[in-house]
Chain A
Amino acid sequence: MKHQDIWILAEQRHGHIMPISYELITRGLALAAGRDCRLNAMIFGHSLDTAAPEALIRCGVDRVVAVEAPELEHFTVEPYAAAMLQLIDEYRPEIILAGATSTGRTLMPYVAMSAHAGLTADCTVLEIEPGSGLLLQTRPAIGGNIMATIKCPECRPQMATVRPRSTRPAPDTPGRTGEIVRRRLTGGQLSSRIVRTGFIPDREELGLQDADKIVVVGRGIKKAENIRLARELAGALGAALGASREVIDRGWLSYPHQIGLSGKTVTPKLYIGVGVSGAIQHLAGMQTAETIVAINTDPEAQIFKVADFGIVGNLFDIVPQLTAMIKEGKQPW
């Protein structure tokens, strides 16, 4: 049987589809059009109700294969890998895409190794090469200093992970139909040498990746106490608070706030960077924002190269004034 079709790994938590899955559909649909083939989704879980696969189908998936077992309720690498390898064996996908999430980044290499498949991490651009029909995978490398395009001429499936929030989620088309296949795998196939014994959710404000607007502080803020200024601006805007790595490394904010290559990728409507220089590794996580604003004392700062609007000025003067103006602007006169 020859390898065919594009597949995505749809992630779920507690039966709810994770946003990355809809972003993967956007990617998958573009590739399926280029290959003139079907878009399939695999989803692993326990007692999934029909809402989950149906939602995937309404957003553009032609066939959903839902594999269910108690062992698949939460991600652990061995049962998930066994399930994915089983589907690779049965359906022989040409391409599999997963999110570059804690799950995707662990599962995909484990599976790729076993399947002797090529895998490219953290792709930002995926396209079909005209003629050969191969998947061209473009990703940042060497700390974001270069972009590399990678392909996988012989081994199948061609596997790639995609950074969350690097594309828009596929819209829902009410009434769209497709095929749902439910599979059960038995315990023996899914044994795990890792047991998940608990989970403690983060307590922080956050919601960075879902935020429409983000205020980001860099080292220019000088000390932890000053972050209050950025927090007030964020409050006035209804924005979430993010930070550069310099701020995280100094312990002024916790790691989940970090934006960039080794932090989160965000695609908000509005990004405001205060005292952020715009190192390439930082840009890797925010360049896709719709509107970028920067406030920095240094007119040569890299951040101005990617910004739509910049103020060369002292953040300690500018930020409180901006906060005040936004608050006033909201008042009804």
Chain B
Amino acid sequence: MRIIIPIKQVPETRSVKMDETTGTVIRQGVESIVNPLDLYAIETALRLKEQYGGETVAVTMGPPQAETALREALSMGVDQAVLVSDRAYAGSDTWATAYILAAAISKLGGFDLIVCGERATDGDTGQVGPELAAALNIPVASYVNRITNITGSWCVADRRLEDGEEQLQITLPAILTVVKEIGVPRLPTLDGKIRARRTAIPIYSQKELQLPENRIGLNGSPTRVVKIFRPAVARQCQLEFGGDDRQNEQAVAKLFAFLQGREVV
């Protein structure tokens, strides 16, 4: 079985700071990591390989330094990695990203399964997985939380919905986007790190993919970001202080009166 894992390098969002005066994100000095939700996709692929045999390939589209993300995937046990990178791909929205990834994956040759993360923590759209499926004309099951079986050309999996779990039989090749419940990602091993350092990572650029200009980068992107601003959060908070028994009692009594005023108790 051949499993492709599209992964994305993202800024460590917990450490993202805002420039209060300009309302923009300060990316400087912010560490880049593998999209945390893609680690679950990698884990899924590795487990399937352990169980059913085959090969795993990580793919990322991004700037040259996104290679670091691929090395991390390799050190976790992924067999191969490909970096899709070209200046012409910069500024791609999810449509153009999926279009380019689809071309790169087609060039990689056949595959049985593509496993994506649920979403990337920077863009937070969760669109690339289903878009990639449409671009490759294969089915997609999103929010997969359990894979029970893969037999020949079928995959049996559960999908998490708002109010329960759905069981699906999916014809391969297909794309799954997986959620955290699928299994705890393993850590890179020392052996893995050594192997990761030695593995050659081919780069697919426009020279290899030769994609039409009106489908890639900013030109190929249907959407445009017109404005970025800081979310406004402001309410007038009545703040009471607890402390000793008496203070606690008074604070609670005031809260109770407040709740009565709002007609919620």
Contact = CB atoms under 8 A, between A and B. Distances in A.
Interface of A: 74, 76-78, 81, 101-102, 105-114, 116-122, 136, 140-155, 192-202, 209, 213, 237, 255, 261-262, 269-270, 280, 283, 287, 290-293, 299, 304-314, 317-318, 321-322, 325-326, 329-330
Interface stretch (B77-85, B188-196, B232-240): B232-240
A313 B251 contact: yes
A116 B99 CA distance: 10
Contact of A119 (B11, B127, B139, B238): B127
Given A118-B93, A147-B228, A255-B181, A152 B222 contact: yes
Contacts of B228: 146-149
Secondary structure at the A interface, as helix, strand, loop or mixed, is mixed
Most buried by A among B18, B139, B174: B139
Nearest to B256: A325
Given A119-B127, A150-B225, A293-B255, A308 B121 contact: no
A76 B248 CA distance: 54
Interface in B192-246: 221-231, 233-243, 245
A79 to B, nearest CB: 11
B222 A312 contact: no
A142 B122 contact: yes
A118 B224 CA distance: 9
Contacts of B221: 118
Given A114-B134, A305-B233, A136 B127 contact: no
Main secondary structure of the interface of B (DSSP, over half): mixed
Contacts of B226: 136, 149-151
Contacts of A283: 233
Nearest to B132: A113
Contact of A146 (B127, B230, B234, B259): B230
Given A199-B166, A306-B235, A310-B238, 11 more contacts: A77-B139, A102-B159, A112-B131, A136-B226, A143-B122, A193-B138, A194-B170, A195-B168, A200-B164, A311-B242, A318-B252
A151 B170 contact: no
A144 B123 CA distance: 10
B142 interface: yes
B4 interface: no
Contacts of B160: 102, 255
B237 A307 contact: yes
Interface residues of B, number: 89
Contacts of A113: 95, 98-99, 130-132, 134-135
Interface in B143-189: 143, 156, 159-171, 174, 180-181
Given A197-B168, A293-B255, A101 B242 contact: no
Nearest to A303: B237
B1 interface: no
Interface string B71-101: 0000000000000000000000111001100
14 contacts: A76-B168, A77-B140, A106-B130, A113-B134, A119-B95, A145-B230, A149-B226, A150-B223, A270-B262, A291-B262, A299-B239, A306-B235, A312-B242, A314-B242
B108 interface: no
Nearest to B11: A142
A309 B238 contact: yes
Contacts of A329: 256, 260, 265
A194 B139 contact: yes
A325 B221 CA distance: 57
Contacts of A200: 164-165, 167
Contact of B122 (A136, A141, A193, A318): A141
B124 A194 contact: no
Contact of A112 (B95, B142, B169): B95
A309 B265 contact: no
B146 to A, nearest CB: 11
A148 B23 CA distance: 11
Given A119-B223, A270-B259, A193 B131 contact: no
Q: Which 10 A-B pairs have the closest CB atoms?
A: A313-B242, A118-B222, A113-B134, A143-B13, A155-B222, A193-B171, A201-B164, A109-B130, A198-B167, A109-B127
